Structures are given as C-alpha cells and as structure tokens.
C-alpha cells in the first residue's frame, strides 16, 4: 500500500532503501551513544540534577505540596525527594539569593527573612559528596574532615592569622584569630589578668562576630560556656566550621532587631574585630549589648576602634557611651578595652551627648523574637530577682540552685525543682533502656527544641556535650531562667526554619512536639509536622539521633513521617516512674548520597 501513489520510476529504488536503513542505523547508534553519555558521564549527572530542580520547582506548587503533606500524614507510602546537589548548605531564612534584594540599611538584608512554606520545595538536604561521620570531640576542636565542608576561603585568607589551614584530608585549627594570631589560649590568659576567668564567677559568654569560634572553644577549659554568633557572610560558613568543631554557635546578625536572647543573661560579652559600629544610630548597638549583659558582667572589645589608627573619633565616642552608662573602665591593653557593667540603674538619666534615656517601666527587656531594637536603655530594675554577678551562685552550684527568675510562673520554684528531678529520671532511662549514645564521644552537639527550664540539659551535666536550649517564642518566656542556671539557648518559632547550617547537631530532643506547631490560644495548627520534621532532618547530622516524647497518637503520626524522611524509628514505653500517656520515639537519620 505504501507505493500505490508513487510514480513507476521511484518504485523499488535500491538507493532509497539503503538511505532509509542508514537513517535507522544512525538513530539506533545515536540512542546508544546518548545512553552511555547519560549514565557514565558528568553531563548525565548535570541533566539529572536539572531534572530534579524542575521537579522540585513543580513540587513547590501549593496545592501539589499540600497533597503530598496530607498523603504522608495519613500514612501513605511516600519518600520525600532529595534536594539538588547545590542545596547542600541551604539555609532557608538566610538565603543570599533572596535576601540580597532587601534594604542594606542597618544590615537588614543580612538578618532572618523566611519564605512561606508554600513557596519552598519539600525536599531533603543531601550531604556533600564524600561526606564522613564527623570527627569526635575533643579531637574535633583541632581538626575536622575537609570533605564535610570543602570551603577553602577562610584557610586561604586567614591561615596566616592562625584561624585554620588545610592539611591532607583535614582542616586544622591552631586556635588563632585576627586579634590573637598566637592563639586563643594566650589571649584568654591575658584577659585573665583583668577578669576573673576561673573560679565559677563567670559562666555564660557571648562572642560577637566569632569567626570559627576558637575563643569560645578554648574558654570551655575555664568552664565558661560561650554562645558564638556571626552572620552568613563572605567568609563562607564560619558558623558551620564552629559547629563541625563541636563549639556552641548560631547564625545571627546584629542589624535592626534584638538578638534572640533574654535580658541580662550573659556574664561576659566579647568582640574581637567584630566591626560592629557600637556608637552608630545613637549608640543603638551598644544599648543592645547592655541589654544582654548581666549586671556586674564584663564587656571586652578587641580591635577597631580601640586605639586604632585613623579612628580617634570612633574610639572617643565609644568611651563616651561607656561613661554615659557608668561602665567601669577596667583596662586598656593595646587594642583591647575591658569594661565592667554597673549593678543598678543609678547612672541614668544623666547628661550625655547621645541622649541616652532609660526605657519605660512597662518595657519588657526580654522580648526578643522579631523585636525591633530600642533606643532606650533597659532597666535592670524591670527584672525582679538577685541575678547580678556576685549575687547569683557560682558555677556549678548555679546549675541546680533555684534561679531568681524562676518565680515568673506561679509556684515557679516548686515547678523548677520538680522539673529538675523529672529530667534526671528521664535521662537515666534514656541511657539505660533506649540505646541512646548520650555520655559517649559520639554525641557532642545537642538541641532541646522545647527546653522550658533547661532540665534536660542540666541532667547531661556530666556528659561531654553542650545543649542549645530552644524556648518556643509563643510559650512562657523561661529562657532567662536557663541562662541563670549557667546554660545557653535562644528563642525560636518552630513554624520557621532554625538559623543554622545543615548537619550541625548529633542529637535533637523534643518533648510535646505537636505543641510546637499549635497556637496556644486556639489550639489550631499554625504549620504541619511534615515541614517541621524535614527541618529537623536538615539540621541533624547523618547517623544522628532524634528523640520525641508525646502522646501515643502523636508518636504514631511522627513514626509515619519518619519513614518519609528516611529515618529508622523505634517506639518505646516511657520510664516506669512517669505519669501520663506518653510514648518515646527514637530515630536515626540514615546516611545517604545523591
């Protein structure tokens, strides 16, 4: 039939038949060649990644996303896709591609700016190629795997200052910094000439613009627990290096908002070439430091503008602000200045060129979640209790002594003591019956997502760990109690991603996980458990552990979602001495590669 309408001269033409065979053969060999290219060459990986990106973009369609979440929550067999390879260090709220378009005023663009969940792909952050289980503490203080964080920028730029250097498969950390190239230990020893660094009088410290956090790492030998922070910036992953080393750290920017810490919680505040303009905007940033510093605490600024060339005015202004707040000048040693904060409000109001005034009596200085910086000085008298340095018990007694600020809740002292006993009992059960590696060198960085009074962290006092105590922003503001105990933490709303890099915690603990996503007043969900558990997966290290306590119904739901995020879950009964309807889920995050 194919030749019915052809002229006779073109029927059964051998040349045409050969041309047709040539085309068929060429097409066949072309397909074979394309198969080998896609399977066995980098181009195939690139095209596959592009395909995944297209899939993920389509997955961020709100309706499609909602259907996937609903399917997972109801127990349908789904596994959440992996994010593209270029998302290995993704931080949703500190995404430079999005935030770079925002205002530069007061570094607003470098603060947290979280996209709504419906605009983000629902996917699991992959580890980088060649990822290895992290070097264990305390060896990690001095070296980490290069393949876990293959970012050479700091080593190239700051290696001569002793920050870090590349040696074989490891990054090595000699312990130096821009203002202490000979090492943090010598620098701390110098500060110890003016500040009582040992003896337990100082316990909580804040290191602003911390670099790779060697200062905080070496303060641990003095039993001083330091919260180191820096923004996500051009130095590439400073905070990620700090956390990989096992040093407490957090991504933050002192810009337009208060830092997410309670008032008067830090015994020592330190800036080593942090380049914060303390006297700008009518000394707004110095006022924020004053809000954070405990009465009787110490402020150390090392580097510009302290006796720095061509910064005479800035140095003069800095001294003027300190005098206006009645800070006692302890020492000026080279380019380092040390002040001590007074223990009361007797200084202001006074005549000063910055127009500094005390805040109203009604001001709550511990409100700090998305709270705009104020241009008034927080009153120490606005917070009740004897919590100044010298009045609060020394470490380690302050860990268990009833904190002065625990009375913010009705019967707070009794609740505090009962909470402390409860968590001692629970942690003993975790270690003896749940096969959790607490107390071993396999667990260093720990987070408690719903910390309350910090009882879980206090029960780990003999373990080689530090704990990030998170107090949910919509729950009672108990973070000041945690700091009074000599522990550290932050405010956070778990309907948003946390300000840290992927793969930074060995163990994450949460009691009453469903309460983190519900509105306390209405009881309605503000977000969903799937997104929350995907975020937990982002910040948990491969082979890390998640421990969840909640009702049997919630635990069953968490177990269903655990399979979707590729965890290995096991459900246990609660400890025999505990009351209430609780189950405990313990899950391990699997190590997988793209």
pLDDT over threshold 60, residue 149: yes
Say if residue 48 is exposed, middle or buried (CB neighbours under 10 Å; 0-12, 13-18, 19+). Answer: middle
Are residues 570 and 85 in contact, defined by beta-carbon separation less than 8 angstroms? no
pLDDT over threshold 60, residue 5: no
pLDDT of res. 10:
38
pLDDT of res. 37:
39
pTM, 2 dp? 0.89
pLDDT over threshold 50, residue 492: yes
Residues in the chain: 594
Are residues 503 and 399 in contact, defined by beta-carbon separation less than 8 angstroms? no
Whole-number average pLDDT of the chain: 88
381 vs 271 pLDDT, higher one: 271
Mean pLDDT across 390-408 = 89
pLDDT over threshold 60, residue 238: yes
pLDDT over threshold 60, residue 379: yes
pLDDT of res. 181:
82
Task: Count CA atoms closer than 13 A to 380's CA, side-chain side.
Answer: 23
Give the C-alpha separation, 219 to 242, whole Å. 14
Give the C-alpha separation, 269 to 118, whole Å. 39
The tokens for 51 are 């395909």
Burial 223-245, CB ≥16 within 10 A → b, else e: bbbbbbbbbbeebebbbbbbbbb
Give the C-alpha separation, 409 to 478, whole Å. 9
Are residues 449 and 469 in contact, defined by beta-carbon separation less than 8 angstroms? no
Residue 382 DSSP symbol: G
Give the rounded percent of residues in the chain with a pLDDT score beyond 90: 73
Tally of helices (H runs) and strands (E runs) in the chain: 16, 17
Give the rounded percent of residues in the chain with a pLDDT score beyond 70: 89
Give the C-alpha separation, 33 to 35, whole Å. 5
pLDDT of res. 31:
53
Give the C-alpha separation, 52 to 365, whole Å. 46
Give the C-alpha separation, 209 to 271, whole Å. 7
Rg of the chain taking only CA atoms, in angstroms: 28
Q: What is the pLDDT of residues 515-567, one digit of tens each?
A: 999 999 999 999 999 999 999 999 999 999 999 999 999 999 999 999 999 99
In this structure, of 113-117, 160-164, 195-199, 251-255, the range with the lowest mean pLDDT score is: 160-164
Q: How far is CA 568 from CA 42, 564, 587, in A?
A: 32, 10, 5
Query: Which residue from 290, 97, 123 is spatially nearest to 206, judged by alpha carbons?
Result: 290
Q: How far is CA 468 from CA 247, 269, 375, in A?
A: 11, 18, 29
pLDDT of res. 52:
35
Give the C-alpha separation, 57 to 483, whole Å. 42
Say if residue 588 is exposed, middle or buried (CB neighbours under 10 Å; 0-12, 13-18, 19+). Answer: middle
In this structure, of 41-55, 116-130, 249-263, 319-333, the range with the lowest mean pLDDT score is: 41-55
The tokens for 213 are 């956090």
Give the C-alpha separation, 72 to 559, whole Å. 11
pLDDT over threshold 70, residue 460: yes
Give the C-alpha separation, 564 to 528, whole Å. 14
pLDDT over threshold 80, residue 236: no
pLDDT over threshold 80, residue 259: yes
Q: How far is CA 579 from CA 133, 386, 426, 546, 551, in A?
A: 37, 34, 12, 22, 12
**Cα torsion angle, 301, 307, 310, 315, sign:** positive
Query: Which residue from 228, 221, 312 is spatially nearest to 270, judged by alpha carbons?
Result: 228
pLDDT of res. 28:
53
pLDDT of res. 277:
95
pLDDT over threshold 50, residue 454: yes
Q: How far is CA 593 from CA 106, 129, 390, 532, in A?
A: 40, 7, 52, 22
Angle at 68 between CA 67 and CA 71, to 5 degrees: 85
Give the C-alpha separation, 508 to 276, whole Å. 32
Number of other CB atoms surrounding residue 15 within 10 Å: 7
Which range has the top average pLDDT, 172-176, 312-316, 575-579? 312-316
Mean pLDDT across 462-466 = 97
Say if residue 133 is exposed, middle or buried (CB neighbours under 10 Å; 0-12, 13-18, 19+). Answer: middle
State how beta strands 328-333 and 293-302 pair: unpaired
pLDDT over threshold 80, residue 213: yes
């Amino acid at each position: 039939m194919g030749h019915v309408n052809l002229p006779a001269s073109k029927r059964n033409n051998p040349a045409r038949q050969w041309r047709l065979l040539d085309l068929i053969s060429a097409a066949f060999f072309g397909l074979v060649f394309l198969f080998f290219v896609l399977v066995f060459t980098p181009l195939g990986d690139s095209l596959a990644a592009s395909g995944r990106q297209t899939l993920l973009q389509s997955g961020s369609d709100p309706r499609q996303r909602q259907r996937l979440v609903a399917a997972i929550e109801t127990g349908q067999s789904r596994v959440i896709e992996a994010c593209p390879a270029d998302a290995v260090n993704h931080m949703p709220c500190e995404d430079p591609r999005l935030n770079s378009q925002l205002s530069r005023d007061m570094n607003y663009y470098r603060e947290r700016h979280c996209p709504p969940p419906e605009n983000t792909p629902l996917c699991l952050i992959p580890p980088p190629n060649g990822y290895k289980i992290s070097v264990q503490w305390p060896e990690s203080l001095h070296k980490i795997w290069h393949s876990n964080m293959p970012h050479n920028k700091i080593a190239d730029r700051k290696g001569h200052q002793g920050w870090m250097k590349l040696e074989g498969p490891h990054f090595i950390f000699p312990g130096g910094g821009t203002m202490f190239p000979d090492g943090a230990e010598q620098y701390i020893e110098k500060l110890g000439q003016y500040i009582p660094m040992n003896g337990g009088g100082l316990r909580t410290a804040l290191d602003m613009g911390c670099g790779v956090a060697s200062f905080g790492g070496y303060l641990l030998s003095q039993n001083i627990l330091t919260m180191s922070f820096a923004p996500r910036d051009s130095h590439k992953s400073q905070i990620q290096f700090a956390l990989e080393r096992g040093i407490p750290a957090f991504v933050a920017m002192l810009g337009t908002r208060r830092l997410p810490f309670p008032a008067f919680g830090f015994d020592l505040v330190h800036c080593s070439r942090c380049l914060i303009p303390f006297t700008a905007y009518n000394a707004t940033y110095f006022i924020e430091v004053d809000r954070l510093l405990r009465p009787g605490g110490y402020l150390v600024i090392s580097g510009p503008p302290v006796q720095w060339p061509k910064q005479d005015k800035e140095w003069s202004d800095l001294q003027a602000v300190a005098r206006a707040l009645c800070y006692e000048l302890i020492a000026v040693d080279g380019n380092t200045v040390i002040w001590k904060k007074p223990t009361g409000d007797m200084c202001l109001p006074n005549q000063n060129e910055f127009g500094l005034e005390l805040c109203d009596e009604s001001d709550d200085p511990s409100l700090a979640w998305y709270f705009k910086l104020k241009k008034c000085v927080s009153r120490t008298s606005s917070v009740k209790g004897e919590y100044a340095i010298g009045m609060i018990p020394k470490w380690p007694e302050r860990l268990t002594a009833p904190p002065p600020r625990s009375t913010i809740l009705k019967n707070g002292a009794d609740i505090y003591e009962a909470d402390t006993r409860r968590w001692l009992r629970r942690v003993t059960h975790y270690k003896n019956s749940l096969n959790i590696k607490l107390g071993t060198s396999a667990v260093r960085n720990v987070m408690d997502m719903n910390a309350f009074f910090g009882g879980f962290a206090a029960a780990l006092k003999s373990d080689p760990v530090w704990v990030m105590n998170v107090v949910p922003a919509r729950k009672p503001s108990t973070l000041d109690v945690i700091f009074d105990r000599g522990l550290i933490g932050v405010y956070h709303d778990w309907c948003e991603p946390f300000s840290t890099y992927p793969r930074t915690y060995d163990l994450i603990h949460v009691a009453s996980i469903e309460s983190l996503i519900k509105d306390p007043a209405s009881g309605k969900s503000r977000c969903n458990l799937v997104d929350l558990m995907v975020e937990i997966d982002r910040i948990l290290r491969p082979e890390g552990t998640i421990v969840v306590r909640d009702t049997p119904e919630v635990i069953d739901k968490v177990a269903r979602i655990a399979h979707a995020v590729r965890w290995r879950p096991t459900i246990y009964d609660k400890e025999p001495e505990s009351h209430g309807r609780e189950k405990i889920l313990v899950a391990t995050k699997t190590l997988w590669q793209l």
